[in-house]
Chains A and B, each alone.
Chain A
Amino acid sequence: AQRVTQPEKLLSVFKGAPVELKCNYSYSGSPELFWYVQYSRQRLQLLLRHISRESIKGFTADLNKGETSFHLKKPFAQEEDSAMYYCALRAIQGAQKLVFGQGTRLTINP
């Protein structure tokens, strides 16, 4: 079975501070990992996918197969980063469906 766990429902940091949103997964096969973000009053949109290995809006995430983690990081938080963040997993072989974590609400304080 595929499962994604985001242990923090709420995370609050000050502007300029580093941010790390945790994501752990369980899946016996090869996973594809994503971070989706939902800003206030906007639709869910893709932020990062691990196979792209790119930085978007200053965020990076590295897939750690040993620790089965895909934590999202940003060295200096900005107020516009306040949003709901969802980690998601998809099997590389087989099903197209995404399995989502519960989400972390990130608040950046001025």
Chain B
Amino acid sequence: NAGVMQNPRHLVRRRGQEARLRCSPMKGHSHVYWYRQLPEEGLKFMVYLQKENIIDESGMPKERFSAEFPKEGPSILRIQQVVRGDSAAYFCASSPPVQGRAKNIQYFGAGTRLSVL
């Protein structure tokens, strides 16, 4: 099992461009989470998705940010019209289907480091 795969590892964008970050969960995992880490800070939750559904987007900025997890293919975090403040490390995590009331461990990818010039 290759683990959670994120690409690209590094992404450079100019202000106003769009950034697309991809996350392929571990095999058998149907839950995906996105976190953002600003410099000198801890990881902050952004969004939780299951296949074709957004379950919790309480941490997503109201504008310019969107996420999807289609039936086929990776989860995508999209940032439109990037600004310098979007420069951060973006981490994806995945977990297997929840069994009843049990919750499962989240396994993290290596992250995508976004730099906005």
Task: Say what secondary structure dominates the interface of chain A.
Answer: loop
CB distance from A54 to the nearest CB of B (A): 13
Mark interface residues in A78-107 (1 if CB within 8 Å of B CB, else 0): 000000001000101001111111110000
CA distance A44 to B31 in the complex (A): 17
The interface residues of chain A lying within 8 Å CB-to-CB of B40 are 102
- The answer to whether B108 touches A49, judged by C-beta atoms less than 8 angstroms apart, is no
Known: A43-B3, A44-B91, A90-B103. A97 touches B108 (CB 8 A): no
- Residues of chain B contacted by A103 (CB below 8 angstroms): 42
Could you say which residues of chain B place their CB within 8 Å of the CB of A99? Answer: 45
Residue in A42, A97, A102 whose CB lies within 8 Å of B45:
A97
Determine whether the beta carbon of A102 is less than 8 Å from that of B108: no
Interface residue? B111 (CB, 8 A)? yes
* B36 smallest CB distance to A (angstroms): 11
Q: How far is the CB of A40 from chain B (nearest CB, A)?
A: 13
Return 18 A-B CB contacts under 8 Å, by A number. Answer: A6-B42, A32-B103, A44-B43, A45-B107, A46-B106, A46-B107, A90-B103, A96-B33, A96-B55, A96-B56, A96-B98, A96-B103, A97-B48, A97-B56, A98-B43, A98-B106, A99-B45, A100-B35
Any A CB within 8 A of the CB of B59: yes
11 new A-B pairs (CB below 8 Å) besides A44-B91, A96-B33? Answer: A43-B4, A46-B105, A96-B55, A96-B56, A98-B33, A98-B45, A99-B45, A100-B43, A100-B44, A101-B42, A102-B42
Q: A32-B103, A96-B31, A97-B33 are in contact. Are A44 and B55 (CB under 8 A)?
A: no
Whether the pair B56, A95 counts as a contact (CB closer than 8 A) is yes
Q: How far is the CA of A96 from the CA of B93 in the complex (A)?
A: 12
B41 contacts A by Cβ under 8 Å: yes
Q: In the complex, A41 Cα to B41 Cα: how many Å?
A: 18
Decide yes or no: A97 and B31 within 8 Å by CB, A43-B111, A45-B108, A86-B43 being known contacts: no
